[in-house]
Amino acid sequence: MKLTDQTGDLRGGGRGTIPHPFSRRCGKGCCWFYRGRCREVFFVMCLNTKNRVVAVHRCHIGSINASIVHPREVFKSAILNNSAAIILCHQYPSQDTNPSREDIEVTKRLVEAGRMMGIGVLDHLVVNAKAGYTSLKEKGYV
């Protein structure tokens, strides 16, 4: 699935940074991917060097309370889309947006994998279908 310039321009602080207002816009905008879903779904937004969204990839559909995320699946779409950076996003069917310990660990693992490949992980958003979100960047985990 391709998404071009529908989530807006992410330029704001140079390569590898995004402004906090974008996290809010992105978190609320991602919710339409999750409407009606009763299982966890993990998406990867692929960004170019100007921090514009060039593609959105559904990486994994999990169970009602878990989603198995592996770095090779997350970065596959980033590599195929020549992405300079990515934003991770997943949904909790419970409507709670507080990141779990596992979310934080996976995020750190993906940030490290991205660092080794030269693809920045700019944020990881936990969203719900009611436009609520939590940014792991804003919480200091990215």
3-class SS at 108? helix
The amino acid at 115: R
pLDDT tier for residue 6 given thresholds of 50, 70 and 90: very low
pLDDT in tens, 65-92: 667 788 999 999 999 999 999 999 988 7
Non-local CB neighbours of 9 within 8 Å, separated by 6+ positions: 50, 51, 52
Rounded to 5 degrees, φ, ψ at 48 are -90, -170
Residue 56 has pLDDT above 70, yes or no: yes
Domain boundaries, the chain: 20-135
Provide the whole-model pTM. Answer: 0.76
Can you tell me the distance from the alpha carbon of 7 to that of 20, in angstroms, rounded to the nearest whole number?
14
Q: Stretch 114-125: mean pLDDT, rounded?
A: 95
pLDDT tier for residue 37 given thresholds of 50, 70 and 90: low
Superfamily of structural domain 20-135:
Cytidine Deaminase, domain 2 (3.40.140.10)
3-class SS at 122? strand
